[in-house]
Amino acid sequence: MNIIMLLYPRLTQLDLTGPFEVFARLPDVTIILAAKSLDPVTDSGGLRLLPTHTLTNAPQADILFVPGGPGQLDLMDDTEVLDFLRAQAAGAGYVTSVCTGSLVLAAAGLLKGYRATCHWMSLEQLALFGCTPCDDRVVVDRNRVTGGGVTSGIDFALHLAALLFNQERAERIQLSMEYDPAPPFSSGHPNSADPAIVEAMRARASGLQEKRWAAARAAAARLGKG
């Protein structure tokens, strides 16, 4: 089973490495880190990741996965990446993402008519692509499986592991990772966080979010003309 995980500059590494840790504990899988070249890819925090394949020599994916991050903006009109995702999705058993990776799938036209989720600050942008935004941590709609923001990647991957194998296998992986979250604060989602903190976060991210909305509208317009 080939799991292709897309690498690109300025991704959020935990969007990728959280699911990677779960996938690496599955039997009989090959994890492929695909990028435009084999050069190291630097994430948004400075961590360098090594691709295993280029987009041109990656095999057919059984599972196609796209992480999110600030670099998602550049992918919204990246023809090479979007064409790669379309081609891989055509033969993949599951097409998946975490965080704003779902916006990249949407820009490729791969979420039209599906329910999906995204990071809470960008969730509504999915509607521009004929997708139904869902404010759930993990959303499964037929063979589309999407996770919310960043840390939801582990939850997403455990859900997918149960779909691919069974719940017992997923539970064993969860136990092996000692994945038993006990966050010190009730501040992980706008529904539970102090409203003042939510507004401060929105204000701090307003510049990036304006760019994300602009990129999403432009990508949706291009799809509409295609």
User: In a 3-state reduction of DSSP, which class is residue 193?
Assistant: coil
From residue 160, give the alpha-carbon distance in Å to each of 75, 81, 154, 206.
25, 24, 10, 32
pLDDT category at 226 given cuts 50, 70, 90 is low
Long-range contacts of 75-82 (CB under 8 A, 24+ apart): 75/8, 75/104, 75/107, 76/103, 76/104, 76/107, 76/215, 76/216, 76/218, 76/219, 77/107, 77/215, 77/218, 77/219, 77/222, 80/36, 80/55, 81/6, 81/8, 81/36, 81/55, 82/107, 82/108
- In order, the DSSP letters of 19-82 are HHHHHTTSTT-EEEEEESSSS-EE-TTS-EE--SEETTT----SEEEE--STTHHHHTT-HHHH
Q: What is the pLDDT of residues 25-67, one digit of tens each?
A: 999 999 999 999 999 999 999 999 999 999 999 999 999 999 9
Retrieve residue 204's tokens.
């701090």
* Class level of CATH domain 2-225: alpha beta
99 is catalytic: yes
pTM, 2 dp: 0.97
Q: What is the pLDDT of residues 84-142, one digit of tens each?
A: 999 999 999 999 999 999 999 999 999 999 999 999 999 999 999 999 999 999 999 99
Name the residue ranges covered by the structural domains of the chain: 2-225
Q: What would you report as the CA-atom Rg of the chain, rounded to the nearest whole angstrom?
A: 17
* Beta pairing partners, 28: none
Out of 99, 118, 131, 134, pick the active-site residue. Answer: 99
What's the number of CA atoms in the CB half-sphere (13 Å) around residue 145? 21
